[in-house]
Amino acid sequence: SVTSYLRNDPGVAEWMRLQVRDDVLAREVAERLIARGFPEARLEEDWLFGWEVDGAGFSIDVDADMGTVTLSGFVPSAVDEERAIRIARLTPGVRSVRSELTRD
């Protein structure tokens, strides 16, 4: 007999249920960053993958992989970093947020 101790990760199951593609999720997070936290920024598609949110004194790259969003680049302050993380976390389809943001 075989006993299975495998469990499903509920976060992955939820992400699969939502069927959010990485490119769509990255764009949604980037658009929400502009709409809810950095209105003076502009949105640009990254030449390799993901999206960039660029403004005066900051640049945030947004990438997604199976619901995990990575924010990288630079922001002026810790307050701006926390705002970006919070906005990303509240985006439907995001399982987790990883910050690689630095402050200028």
pLDDT in tens, 41-66: 999 987 677 899 999 999 999 999 98
Sheet order of strands, 68-75 included? 42-45, 51-55, 58-65, 68-75, 96-103
Does the CA dihedral 96-71-27-82 come out positive or negative?
A: positive
pLDDT tens for the chain, 104 residues: list them.
Answer: 787 777 666 666 665 665 568 889 999 999 999 999 999 999 998 767 789 999 999 999 999 998 899 999 999 999 999 999 999 999 998 999 999 999 97
Give the pTM. Answer: 0.80
